[in-house]
Amino acid sequence: MTDAYAPRQATRLDAIPGRFDPWLLGVSCALACLGVVMVGSAGVGVAERHEVGPLYFLSRHIVFLAIGAALAVWAMRTELKGIEQRSQWLLLACFVMLIAVFVPGIGRQLNGANRWINLGVSNFQAVEAVKLMYIVWLASYLKRYSEEVAANWPAMLKPLGVAVALVVLLILQPDFGSLSLILAITAGMLVLGGVNMPRMFGPVLVGLPVLAVIAIAEPYRMRRLTSFVDPFADPFGSGYQLSNALMAVGRGEWFGVGLGASVQKLSYLPEAHTDFIMAVIAEELGFVGVCLVVALYATLVGRAFWIGLQCVEMRRHFAGYCAFGIALWMGLQSFVSIGVNLGLLPTKGLTLPLISSGGSSVLMTCAALGLLLRVSYELERAQRQVARLRGEAMQPSAGHVPATAQPLPATAPSTKSSDAARGTSRLRQRVEPTLGRLA
């Protein structure tokens, strides 16, 4: 017997490490670095208008980015199983945070909206945390009731009912952009979770007219819709933001006017460091810079969807649905933010993930990407575990002699088939507890 057929020492499955997806990590770092540069450039004019130091918004953004990186590292080191077990508490926290903004002394009103929780040193926008916690709860729900969601009405309507309850609280704030985003994420995750598509048409046909009524109920929302059609009809009134954004985009042409050379950011373009930072990118970096940003987000979202699909194929449904939800969140929010800056969509107060300045958005985006990286880590670990188990199942035993050294008996084919069947059965019994079970 040669060394090739000697028994190998067994390796514990829990000792096999995973690996964080390098594409996700690289794109996230690239977007964060681009955000630091552009906030530093766009924040100069805003800082002058607020009579603070020129580096005020840049230093503030870096501080929140550092705290967000710590949250991301924490999420990357947390087992998904533990997060899934706390999904019900996270849903409860969603409602608590959205109600807390109306409590005197806890909530804080800015510009006529009750969206912030007063933390003393800073304000925190509650809906940013709600987005992530709601995605985690919905992923857990779809994992537990995936068959029921595809088969009957009550299982499908329950997450829609939860989403409507959250939407009611967001209407009271008001925050039409975030409530539209949450509804879109809910619909997308239900579709990816296997909901019956004809059954989904009913709630959609009912919900769209309701959203339309909510959108035109407030005069300022109606003005946004009308100014979106022709912003230059009232360039100093309702079309002020979009007309200045379009002028910034037009000045950028192919390669931009140069980093730091934007004119529109100098007290012309409002919220140049947050909602309209993409217009500053277009002006300073041009069409090439816009294409770079779009390519980075497309890579991030596409990779997240691919990881989610791999998880579902390996029956890691909670991890897969978390990846799907975060991909929908990042994809839809970046699409709306870029579309608003380019005049393709009506004005909405949604930031550009990881690039725009804004403490709440930066913190929770980092936490979400940390969770997504954890999903990629556990997926890689599971794939290595499967490869190890298959290798052990196919490994010859210590007393086995190769076919070239010993002739097979007449019953060798049937014996070999039975051994393979027993090995496959043992492999299935050992693999399935590691990968989880289908709800």
**Using one digit for the tens of pLDDT, what is the confidence trace for 140-158?**
999 998 888 888 888 888 9
Is residue 368 in a domain? yes
Lowest-confidence region among 7-21, 60-74, 182-196: 7-21
- How confident is the model at residue 410, as a pLDDT? 45
Q: Which residue has the higher pLDDT, 177 or 321?
A: 321
Range 92-96 average pLDDT: 95
The pLDDT value given to residue 78: 94
Per-residue pLDDT at 201:
82
| Domain count along the chain | 1
Residue 420 lies in a domain: no
Summarize the confidence of residues 306-315 as an average pLDDT: 94
| Residue 399 pLDDT > 50 | no
Domain assignment present for 426: no
Does the pLDDT value for residue 206 go beyond 70? yes
Highest mean pLDDT among 111-125, 187-201, 267-281, 305-319 belongs to 305-319
What global pTM score does this model have? Answer: 0.85
Check whether 138 has a pLDDT greater than 90. yes
Q: Tell me what the pLDDT averaged over the chain comes to.
A: 84
Q: What is the pLDDT of residue 226?
A: 74
Distance CA 430, CA 310 (A): 20
Name which residue leads in pLDDT, 356 or 232: 356
Residue 14's pLDDT band, with cuts at 50, 70 and 90, is low
Residue 218 lies in a domain: yes
pLDDT at residue 9 greater than cutoff 60: no
Q: Give the other-Cβ count within 10 Å of 247's Cβ.
A: 18
Distances from the Cα of 357 to the Cα of 22, 144, 214, 294, 331, angstroms: 25, 37, 28, 18, 18
pLDDT in the model for residue 177: 86
Burial of 229 (0-12, 13-18, 19+ CB in 10 A): exposed
- 393 located within any domain: no
Order of strands across the sheet with 107-110? 107-110, 113-118, 123-125
Tens-place pLDDT, residues 333-380: 999 999 999 988 888 778 899 999 888 999 999 999 999 999 999 999
**Domain range enclosing 219:** 15-384
List, in sequence order, every residue forming a beta bridge with 114; answer none if it has no partner: 109
Report the DSSP beta bridge partners of residue 109: 114
Using only C-alpha atoms, the chain has a radius of gyration, in whole angstroms, of 26
Say if 1 falls within a structural domain: no
pLDDT per residue as tens digits for the range 236-274: 877 888 898 999 999 999 999 999 889 888 878 888 888
Q: What is the dihedral of CA 43, 44, 50, 56, to 10 degrees?
A: 70
For position 401, what pLDDT does the model report? 46
Tokens of 424: 């496959």
The answer to whether position 392 is within a domain reads no
pLDDT at 187: 92
Question: Is there a domain that residue 327 lies in?
Answer: yes
